[in-house]
Structure 1
Amino acid sequence: YVGVILIRGSDTPYDYVRSAPAIDLAVRKANSEILKGSGYKLESTIMTYGPLCDGNFASGIAAEMYFRREVDAFLGPGCADALDPVGRLASYWNVPVITGSSILRHRSVGDAGRFKFKENFPTLTRLAYCQCRLRKVFGSILRQFNWTDLSLIYDTNDDYPRSLGDTLVTGLGLGGFEPVVIKFSGNSNVTFEREILEAKKYSRVSILCMSGDSIRRYLIKAYEMGLIQTGEYVFMDVELFPFPGDYWGKHHWRRGDDLDEIAKKAFEALLLVTLVEPKGQQYNEWSTRVKTRAEEVYGFNYDLNEESVNFFVGSFYDGLIHYARTVRKFIETGQNYSDGLTMSHAMWNATFEGITGSVFIDDNGDRDTSYAIRDMDPESGEFVEVAYYWGNKPGYTPDENVKMHWAGGRTAPPPNEPFCWFSGENPVCQPEGPSIVQTGDLVNILSSYQYPILLLYSHSRKYKLEAAIRDMSWLIRRLPDNAAAIELISGSTCGAFKLELEAFLAQQPNRDAVTASTNKSLNETQIFTEIGVYKGIVVAIRNINTIRPITLSRNVLLEISKRRSMNHDNVARFIGAAMEPPVIKILHDYCAKGSLQDILNNDNVTLDEDFKYSLIMDIVKGMNYIHSSDIGHHGQLRSSNCVVDSRFVLKITDFGLPSLYGTHHRNPYQDIENEHIHYERSQKADVFSFAIILEEILARGGPYEFFRGEFSPKEIVTKVKNATGLEPFRPVVSKDVCHPALHALMIQCWDEDPNKRPHFDTVKSAIRNIHGGKDRSLMESLLIRMEQYANNLEGIVAERTSLLVQEQRKTEQLLLQILPKSIAEQLKRGQSVQPETYASVTIYFSDIVGFTTISAKSSPLDVVQLLNQLYTAFDSTLEKYDVYKVETIGDAYMVVSGLPIPNGKGHAKEIALMSLALLHSIGKFRINHLPGTQLKLRIGLHSGPCVAGVVGLKMPRYCLFGDTVNTASRMESHGEALKIHVSPTTRDLLVAEDEFDLVRRGTIDVKGKGEMETFWLM
């Protein structure tokens, strides 16, 4: 039994009227071909929510399907915010979830890429596409043409472009690209001149995430500014497939207006990324069947807007077929297909030919979708496929039979960067020399790397060195108007005791000779961390005071190159540096949770064992990576240099770049030997520093926390420096606060003899063994405990608003009990409800035969209790069908299907199924005060047009009017007990379903209608 959950009444490509016909065909194929002869039959039921992507309603539907219909699998939902709670519930119930889409829409919160984390969605299989894969597609294009500098321009006011832009910002960074992010709030008044000029400063290649109309206006403006004609600029766009309306707009130049000619020329510079379009006779025949069923059963005409059956619809079909095939395998092998986790994993890591083409599902349950890269044919003006990114063969694959066209008459792709750089600041192109690099040094650097040599000897070592010097993208320059390129936001302070200790140490004389420009003291670390915005990215800023300019010598450039190449989850990314005296600003990733020191000083943060383990393990992993890199060691490791990002991943910062930070650093937590504190940087000193951080975590405080109330910072440092004897002055940590093995490891790490201190790979293995062999990240450990670390303000706000929310919910629920949801929503918005005509609905009337006699034998209280119990049972049955209860008057019960939300021709089927269910339930109903009396229900059904509207202001009622209502009432009054009396029009609709047994009653005289041939529904 498959429960299908679809959105309804929306403008989405996976709406109920589009997807349901394809799902019906999949069910037929599963039963007639795949499961034939197995003794099993696949059944499905479709329930809808909408028109918004509402996770509350979708999860409610899932719960009803699971508990009342005992479904074996879910198909859908299609939108991300509805899929999220359904996927989590299904994980708890151990039920498979298959979806043909997981796209963001309707002001969704978050990222549709969340579903790739299968620890949260272990039974979810996605047959459509993952937005996160687009970063690989774009990455393949960029690598194919050697483009490294790019801009990402996206609309934050439109849901799909916003979600795509946010995804690419992160995804491209993971792929080694750092796009300049330019955001705008889209409307028809945006001229795009500012965005184009900003992007032009940093790149020749731009990815545009915006609606189709905005794409056209952007490219027309670029043409008017002369960018297209040069052929030096390339733009890229995503249109998964053409879809009418405003969902993502029309990504084509043709509009039939005066700007078409210019737009066509401008679109020559555009590369369009799409899904590979399904083709072939089989797909065309299937598409025709979907369109036919959509119109005949669901009242939806594909051809009205010249719409094709889209990829998402096909993915729902392929998903159900794949599920049916897996069920067949389980039946043949005797496995339990009700085991959702086993079933889901059996569907993963699979390849098959689907209606949407070749389907490759990876070992994470996500489809590796194939993409096409399209270029516009300048003659026809149509976009043609010139290359592909195949799901089973990642990478750029050109179509050898199609030639790529480049704008501006170019015969080859434009280079990544002009020789004089985007800003024209290449030292070779500036006779007066650069402002930061010293002129004499520049001459020395460039004297052996002249431009002719670059051309003639491009693969030599000298060329590589010159290229390294030219790669100054990390260098932050002032803007042309002399404005700062970094916008400062705020700072973050650390604990008072730590501040006092480090301030004292900063006043101590350095034991080694160091120049003033490179000396570094502790109070210049993250005691106060500046936060700023650079190129649209929030960054952490490390300030270094200097008197004279830093010469960008070969050694400095190589240091920076090494630091930029560092790429690890537990190492903060180096973003750039502003080299303008008197303060050098070094930019790193901004980590929203602050430093480890901030977390330890925050009493509102609870550190359980998993939390502590994850922090410690992240430090060890990061340091192990640094020690194995070309940099070799940290040199100033401390808790203030360990920062935690928004995903609770700890990252290590402030290392490398000795020419900028200084060759020696004053740090009281490093290598302590005999009578002197040496500040020499080494791997063993890093291990000592790690031990001090370990003490801070276990003691939940600063370094030497045990002595905090006994000695001043000055006295602590003196004792460390002047310690004598076998046991030097070390922190005191109780053995009760941690595992004995961890306590012993900490003591070994701060051993007086550096040679006895373990390497970090040894420390890593030891800590993993202490923690039972587990190696979970902090996010994994804390996901189920996130509520423990919620902000206090959220709790206060929730407490003060809970009563208001409860009352609002009660009011809304009361309104929904009186009126249909769509009508209630209109009234809540203050809109007047106009009467509406419905072309075809089916109305149900019933009453209880002999109710007057039963009432005479009962007290008024007994009658009320009887009707309450009966109609409560009826109402419970109605929830399983697409029907709406109009009213109850005494023993009379009125229900309708086909309004207020039309359901095509399915209304007669829904009412018929409901009637049979009610007739079945009445046989089990017992009257408490008359146990020997059997209730007998008399039912009448009729289909036809009617008018519905709200009547009255006080106690408003949703009423139906028209001859259809009268005829349905006559069918009931002329019927018989325990039988369902059906009119000819309803009979014709049920016969078309080919699922019901009807018996001719004959011709009867119906009051007000004359003679009429009627039928019994058996």
Structure 2
Amino acid sequence: MPRFYASTAALSCIFVLLGCQWSSSNPLASGAAASTRRLLDTINIGFLAEYSQMRVTLGGLPLAIEDVNKNPYLLPGKKLAFKPVDIGHKMSAYRVKPLRAMTQMRESGVTAFIGPDESCTTEALLASAWNTPMLSFKCSDSIVSNKSTFHTFARTLAPASKVSKSIISLLNAFHWNKFAIVVSSKPIWGLDVARAIQELAEARNFTISHFKHISDYIPTTKTLSQIDKIIEETYSTTRIYVFIGEHIAMVDFVRGLQNRRLLESGDYIVVSVDDEIYDSNRRVNIMERNYLDPYIRKEKSKSLDKISFRSVVKISMTYPQNPHIRVPIYGLHLYDSVMIYVRAISEVLKQGGDIYDGNLVMSHIFNRSYHSIQGFDVYIDSNGDAEGNYTVITLQNDVGSGTSGGSLAKMSMQPVGFFAYNKHSLIPEFRYIKSDRPIQWLNGRPPLAEPLCGFHGELCPRKKLDWRYLVTGPLSALVVVVAIALLIKHYRYEQTLAGLLWKVDMKEVTVINLGEYNNPSNKNIFQICRQSILVVGEPNKRSFTNIALFRGNIVAMKKIHKKSVDITRSIRKELKLMREVRHENIINFIGASTDHGSVIIFTTYCARGSLEDVLANEDLHLDHMFVSSLVSDILKGMIYLHDSEIISHGNLRSSNCLIDSRWVCQISDFGLHELNAGQEEPNKSELELKRALCMAPELLRDAYRPARGSQKGDVYSFGILLYEMIGRKGPWGDTAYSKEEIIQFVKCPELLQHGVFRPALTHTHLDIPDYIRKCLCQCWDEDPEARPDIRLVRMHLKELQAGLKPNIFDNMLSIMEKYAYNLEGLVQERTNLLYEEKKKTDMLLYQMLPRPVAELLKRGDPVEAECFECVTILFSDIVGFTELCTTSTPFEVVEMLNDWYTCCDSIISNYDVYKVETIGDAYMVVSGLPLQNGNRHAGEIASLALHLLETVGNLKIRHKPTETVQLRIGVHSGPCAAGVVGQKMPRYCLFGDTVNTASRMESTGDSMKIHISEATYQLLQLIGSYVCIERGLTSIKGKGDMRTYWLTNRHQSELTPDLISTVDTLDSYCSAGRESMEHILHQYCNPAQNNYRLGSCKCDTKCLYSRRSDDNVTNSHVTSEFPKISEPTQVNCNQLCICRLNSSQVFSNRSPRSAPSITFRL
């Protein structure tokens, strides 16, 4: 090939001229007959290329054609010709022009296509569709390797990822099965190579200890610190680095290792991948970074780089072994493409095949090696990709240096090995170029992938001592410690059992007798709770469960129906275990009493009864949030039980899910199986039927089923319970079958033709989402093992609990009830002596008239009418009362009104209000007179209205038990006059426009809603915590259009008990007149401490004065003493200004408080 180098430029020009001549003659337009004649002795191939970018490379094509035609062994009796086409730049009409050219070439009879360069996906797909061979010399698209689509495509340019096989071969040759990969973002093929290495490593069970990335590398302080960080994170757990990146980044990486003195011992190695062809002319400066970066100042000594490169193994593309070739590599690949095609069709012709059959021709190219013009063999795999030829380069002694010690001055980077491919192995074999010139390792041997003793010395035992001393001593000590620990644990356990911590002394128990009900099983929880409050003390009424007081707490009592009970050790263990079970959704076991030979179990009292009662109450609307909260509570409780020593429940049903006052569901009636065994319960047969309705079929069939059931049985029972909560029609919904028939069908599914019997999910009234329906079917599976566990059930119902928030409504009610009870007790304690001396006539008088008015009348003093600046009045009536009266007798109407007014009277006693009068079904209540209470009258009436609406929903009409009372409430605030009218049966009456407006609020309202005026709304906004919804403009008779609101709810009060107490005291003090602020503070705060100041009011009006406590003051009005308050300008005197003291104060009559609040009237 000596002539190749000399004639390259000339051949390129000839090629262009030939292409132009061919284009001018336009052979593609010649007839098919002429093409057919030429095919008798000439084989044409089409050439697709971009002339402007391939002028030097194009010379390889005519040279290959010339060599083929001169070789008598290739295409004997035939000639090879080519038809070139300039496809232009790829950014122009690239996708159209080559396809048009290929079509014209095919019509002219070409047998194959050479090219195109760069992208070739579309052309290769078209060639595969025609079954025409296509060989590319420059295309790097990865998709064309898919031979299921591109089955007639091959290329002599090896894809970048092919180097991964050579890397794995090198690692395997030196047993480097543990290594780290460091890949840079440039070159762009680096990440593909790294992933290919990762896949091959996993296939051979190699371990990749680290996979690190380097961003675009520019030799700056920042990027050098990035390399140092990677080395810091990896050097302790790796010895072999595979570096894929630019040469300049690799040099700095190697220097970073040397700076840590890691390369001096020869224990570390860096395998670098270079995308450039190795050039022996720069085998020395390849170790330096200066030749790549002219802006880096040349350093005085490069010995550091040379020392570092003793531990570097580079893999680069093999340099052409023919010393006369000095052309671009793509020209060589073009030459090889023509030659391997000619050899393939020569074999086809020799075997009598059809050279137009692309698949046949490609079968003589795939999985074969060819001798490249570069001077070495290249293997083409089954995907038509050239494997490439790579060389291993290391720092070696120069030939003839006569030294083996590795003098740095006489060493350079030289090729030492190559990779041999064969069709029987995916990975090539690493071989030395010369067996007598192996790699000159720094310490005379290849480094190990892992130290013999491991990276942290974990693989090498310490110096061996007598194993008997090493084992016997610590083992004996361990045995002694464990034995002592077990003895202590057993002793404490026995002491706990013997200590009877679970035992309850009946002397500490006070049974609460709420009376007995005629038939409590026919009453739901709300009826019973309401009636038990209203009729305490009547002998024929009782609560739904036995309750008692134990150490100041209300507890529930359950008697074990046994004639005698022997508290054995196993029963004590059960009682101890029950006492240790603590969870917010599990009923708390307080203890048990075994006095007098009977056993009574005590648990926490749940005021709202069982879930069965809640579901049976049709007046209670269970919205999505309500059901979601209850389901979540049950699931959390069951998960806790299944994870505890209880293991399972065994009797999960709605009657065993109790609801406390905060609407939290707690699971009960679990455990204590030995204690409950053999008891004679009343109505035992009925109870057994109810239990069996929720029991799993496998437990029904088991005559010797365990008392605790099974966890899978609990999942089945939960499905029944969930169905009951959704449908609210009992465990099995609306079914025509009796309980006995249902149990029999579940127990024996063969009695039914359609298989297993389960609750119906197709009822029209059931709106069950698909995920709940699917969960129910899984829970009801006949095979227990196919049912999910309770945790998986919770995951299936995760969507049901979406958006669930804690319920604080009942928490607010609890605080209000405690406050009301404490206040009533205080009033009762201070007025006990007075009440003892009062007569029944006085009690009647106080019920008819306000107490101050009654006292005046008793003394004979005249009662003068009084004007009140602002009060709040409530009117309510029963919706549909007229229609109700027409269908009821007068006695029934009176009885109904008596029930309702009695209930209302019991409710208003908890609020600072006064019942003015009742007319028919109308009920009138006022707050703020005759004793003024500041602005609290609006809050008192609002709370009362909410309480009335809550209570009326539970009120049943005795003669019409299926109907409930519907209430309509109206509220308004404003000034009014009040006084006593008449001498015989005097009445305390209210007068003024406020009364009429409040009545209009009621008459224009809606059923079961609270209609309030804008004046009341403004007061409630000042108080806070009340939720109102604007109704809009409402036409009010005599008033025109008024803006009104609906009162819907109240949040938990923000007022603390101390603040409320202070408000009451200060309000009553200030009601007599406007007093100075200084006098108020000195009256209720310790004047000795001069470090308090007033903050901002929680209302629109701000405090006008403040005292300095630090540099921060409320406003500019700062004085050493509080001045007297005269008439403030533009201040509503009915507003309460709530101010907080910013530092700790000591009330003169109380213990120290932190940041207390005071309230005064402006």
Instruction: Give the TM-score taking structure 1 as reference length.
Output: 0.38
Q: Which has the larger radius of gyration?
A: 2
